[in-house]
Amino acid sequence: MVWFLIWIIVFLLFIVGVGLYHSRKIKSANDYIMADFSLGFFPICGSIVATTLGAAAVIGSSGMGFTTGMTWFTATSPVFIISILLAVILGTTIRKLKLYTIPDLFVRRFGKSAGLIPALVISILFMTPTFGMQLVGMGSILSTIVDIPLMSAMLIGFVICVAFTLMGGLPSVAWTDAVQSVLILLGIAVMFFVGLNYVGGIGVVIDNTPEHIMNFVGISKKEMINYLVIFGPFYLVWQTTWQRIAAAKSDKIAVRGVSIGFLLVGLVSIFAIGIGIIARQALPLDTHPDAVYTQFLSMLFHPAIGGLFMVSLFAAVLTGATSFLLSGAMNISKDIYQGWIAPGASDERMLKVSRLSVAGMALGGLGVALLIKNILAIYMVALSLSAVTMVMPVLAAMFWKRATKAGMIVSVIGALIATIIWKITGQPFGLHEIIPGLVVSLILIIVVSLFTKHSSEENVTAYYFSIKEIEDPTQMVANEGIKDIR
């Protein structure tokens, strides 16, 4: 307990120092929410690792390794495969567009009204419950470390998280993420090999582990398809990745930072699942999956080392929470406030609104964490709605010039309705609601676009092709139908 307290105090002093340091450098909204588009490889890569691999992912993957085995790696592989493809194929385009948010892409391509529904879906339906989940995760870890009630621990985590985010914005979040990513990678790797040695080596693990646990495809085809669809399309439109790509100081750093970050995510996933499989040799098989990682950690390490790794998980979920706060706050400040309420707002005003948006999002997430019992169920629905409303319109904006505003709006509304109906009716045929939602979205955007004309406010172009050779797309360009796309 003493060592846990020592490490948590060291960590808190560290993030306060980082927050204060960057708070003095923040002069504009661009500095606060996008680090003035100047982040290097280490903060970009590290932020991807720490944000993707919070406590829920590490602890959850270990638990799934314990109960399900290597199948979980196959099921979640679209997270890093799709994200790497996004960076490699669209990274340069996203950077040239200097996108603050994904709804910003909708507005530039299809017009002002096109970005409203996606902005509301991301900020309210997705980011708010996601932040609430992080608070529950922080509370669970903190209450274990210092032996206080869960609600008190959640409130402490809330205060730390909001104060840190309000002070330093994206620069402080990205740099603390980078440091935490090193601790996560080190902790997972060391724990894997120490655990392997503790139980007697890889031969013992293979001999004593059921075949289906070691199998990479140990579930039915329908279950696997559902998992692949749940974890796949959403990561094409995960705003956190888009923000990191845009915030990098060069195309090369953006693509390499995000790609290597997600390669490390895949590597850590294998180690985390492996830890769960190894733990089967040392822990009772009726151990709760969420307790596998922490119990095995306590079994392997002296508190001086185990405490560091435990606190690093708390730190990772906290900095992940700040990323979700900043991302959702951008939707509120840029897409909703500046887009609809005060288009001519000054930069000073936008900085204030950005910080107020962070505070508002945080309070909403706290309410979700304290009042709603099944946050995970809400999160999964929010993830589904985010995927079905944005994947097809984003692909159309990038690759299909013929897509129209009417097609995009009908596609978004139709996909939302189809997804909700499929969910309410109990997922017919055992198929996840993302599948019919995406199918309806694709059909509607094609059919309606082919039977409607472009509106006067559209920028009629396919961005992936039209700005490939343009060095500075922020200026007025006459060729290929490109307007001032800032």
- Other residues' Cβ atoms within 10 Å of the Cβ of residue 235: 22
Closest CA relative to residue 358, chosen from 123, 34, 14: 123
The whole-number pLDDT of residue 25 equals 63
Q: What is the distance between the alpha carbons of residues 389 and 438, in angstroms, rounded to a whole number?
A: 8
Q: Assess contact for 146 and 310: CB atoms under 8 A.
A: no
Token duo for residue 440: 């309806």
User: How many contiguous H segments (helices) and E segments (strands) does the chain have?
Assistant: 22, 0
Helix (H, G, I), strand (E, B) or coil at 248: strand
What per-residue confidence (pLDDT) applies to 485?
Answer: 38
What token pair was written down for 107? 């507005």
Domain 2-381 = CATH 1.20.1730.10? yes
- Contact yes or no for 127/324 (Cβ under 8 A): yes
Ramachandran class of 167: left when φ > 0, alpha when ψ lies in -120 to 50, beta otherwise: alpha
**Confidence at residue 314, expressed as pLDDT on a 0 to 100 scale:** 76
Hunting for tokens 């676009």 — which residue is that?
449
CA pair distance 86, 406, nearest whole angstrom: 26
At residue 71, φ and ψ (nearest 5 deg) are -55, -35
| DSSP secondary structure letter of residue 333 | I
pLDDT score recorded for residue 484:
41
Q: Which residues pair with 39 in a beta bridge?
A: 248
How remote is the C-alpha of 244 from its chain's centroid? 11
439 close to 421: Cβ distance less than 8 angstroms: no
Cβ atoms 288, 296 nearer than 8 A: no
How high is the pLDDT of residue 199? 93
CA dihedral 108, 112, 117, 118 (to 10 degrees): 20
Indicate yes or no: pTM above 0.85: no
The total number of residues shown for the chain amounts to: 486
What are 132's two structure tokens?
């609430």
Phi, psi of 280 (to 5 degrees): -60, -25
Q: Where are the alpha helices (DSSP H) in 77-208?
A: 78-97, 102-110, 116-120, 128-146, 150-198, 202-208
Residues in the chain predicted with pLDDT less than 50, given as ranges, are 473-486
Q: How many CA atoms lie within 13 A of 421 on its CB side?
A: 9
**Contact by Cβ (8 Å): 437, 388:** yes
Signed CA dihedral, 375, 63, 272, 391: sign only: negative
Tokens matching residue 289: 């999956």
Residues 6+ apart with CB under 8 A from 409: 110, 113, 114, 117
Report yes or no: 7 and 307 within 8 Å, Cβ to Cβ: yes
The pLDDT score that the predictor gives to residue 31 is 56
Burial class (CB in 10 A: 0-12, 13-18, 19+), 72: buried
Rounded CA-CA distance 33/58 in Å is 27
Mean pLDDT, the chain, whole residue set: 83
Describe the crossing of helices 150-198 and 128-146 by its angle, rounded to 10 degrees. Answer: 70
Distance CA(18)–CA(95), nearest Å, equals 27
